[in-house]
Amino acid sequence: MWYRLLQNLSSGELEQAIMHICKTTKDFYPGTNVVALILETVEVQKKEKRTRALQAKNEVAKKEEEERRMLIREEYKKDPEKFASARKVQQLASGIGRKM
């Protein structure tokens, strides 16, 4: 019966969940639903993994934005007038083709 309830889990997910339960659960009682405990642990671990991936993606995006801003600052420091002119051209070009 347990096999049928847990067969949709990969061996890695199952192993990680069981290792986590063994490390954190002190007592098992006769009424403990071990399969539900394993499935719940797998879900929590999946959510944590997705959260870490999203945080890593956000960190990369933040770093890229900081680098882009630094390049803009350096460009401005080199020649403020040229920078201002280039920005005006960009703004005008971005408005081309828009409906009013």
Q: Quote the pLDDT of residue 66.
A: 95
Q: Quote the pLDDT of residue 50.
A: 96
Each of the 100 residues of the chain gets a pLDDT tens digit; together they read: 788 889 899 999 999 999 999 999 888 888 889 999 999 999 999 999 999 999 999 999 999 999 999 988 888 788 888 888 888 888 888 878 766 5
Residue with tokens 């070009």: 93
What are the C-alpha distances in Å from 48 to residues 23, 36, 44, 62, 88?
Answer: 18, 18, 6, 21, 45
Q: Quote the pLDDT of residue 3.
A: 83
pTM: 0.62
